[in-house]
């Protein structure tokens, strides 16, 4: 196995974006691709590492850039400032992540009939919105993602299967929001799953998360369970 990785520029209109791709160079076949959408901090080392892990599983992995030019926040205040325009304008959010989907399908190693997307926290909301807009992809996975739907709706059918991996005690996705999300997916006739992990809060997959007073804490057991569920899901949708 020879994992190759590098950054790559792509565009959303006039906005220059900086993605990160990884793939196994010992395999000459075109293969499924997985988009990775970052947390509110931006495309950082955490999602780049996830891209390499997915490449080791045999996928072309593409850690996308929602903010442009690889911008990364260094404080909660900076993170919020970067994220808020997309929370206020979900059409802009959907346009931006769709640009990443278009870019990954152009990569020469990708079987563009087999693409999925996964995201963490804010990124979970992003990939769920990619599904909600009727994008042509096989599935999306949300890790401790925000679940609230956009105000505007689309008449396009949701094509992607949906897997939401959720901490039961996550203060950013209450039981009421989870119930509303499940009803939304049911009403849209989506093939959906929601896995809820007990005694688990927000950001449970990130070893750097250590703010229990804010409801953000790494949980190694839940993280391993969620990653395994994602692997099973990807194997299913790409079969």
Q: What are 213's two structure tokens?
A: 């007073």
Contact 195, 166 (CB under 8 A): yes
- With H, G, I as helix, E, B as strand and everything else as coil, classify residue 230: helix
Work out how many domains the chain is built from and give that number: 1
pLDDT tens sequence across 62-94: 999 999 999 999 999 999 999 999 999 999 999
Q: Give the separation between CA 21 and CA 13, rounded to whole angstroms.
A: 21
What range does the domain containing 76 cover? Answer: 3-237
pLDDT tens sequence across 12-54: 999 999 999 999 999 889 999 999 999 999 999 999 999 999 9
Contact 133, 98 (CB under 8 A): yes
Which helix or strand (DSSP H or E) is residue 210 part of? strand 210-211
**CATH at 178:** 3.40.50.1820
């Amino acid at each position: 196995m020879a994992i190759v990785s590098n950054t790559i520029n792509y565009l959303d209109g006039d906005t220059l974006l900086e993605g990160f791709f990884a793939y196994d160079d010992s395999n000459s076949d075109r293969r499924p691709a997985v988009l990775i959408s970052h947390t509110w901090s931006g495309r950082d080392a955490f999602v780049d590492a996830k891209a390499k892990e997915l490449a080791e599983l045999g996928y072309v992995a593409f850690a996308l850039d929602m903010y442009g030019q690889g911008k990364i926040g260094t404080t909660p205040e900076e993170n919020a400032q970067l994220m808020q325009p997309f929370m206020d304008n979900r059409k802009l959010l959907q346009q931006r992540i769709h640009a990443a989907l278009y870019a990954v399908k152009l990569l020469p190693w990708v079987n563009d009939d087999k693409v999925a997307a996964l995201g963490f926290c804010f990124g979970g909301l992003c990939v769920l919105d990619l599904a909600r807009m009727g994008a042509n992809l096989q599935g999306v996975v949300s890790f401790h993602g925000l679940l609230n739907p956009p105000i505007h709706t689309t008449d396009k059918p949701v094509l992607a299967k949906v897997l939401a991996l959720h901490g039961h005690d996550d203060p950013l996705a209450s039981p009421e929001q989870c119930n509303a999300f499940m009803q939304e997916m049911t009403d849209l006739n989506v093939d959906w799953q929601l896995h809820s992990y007990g005694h688990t809060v927000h950001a449970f997959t990130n070893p750097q998360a250590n703010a229990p007073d804010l409801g953000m804490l790494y949980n190694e057991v839940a993280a391993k369970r969620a990653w395994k569920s994602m692997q099973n899901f990807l194997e299913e949708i790409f079969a």
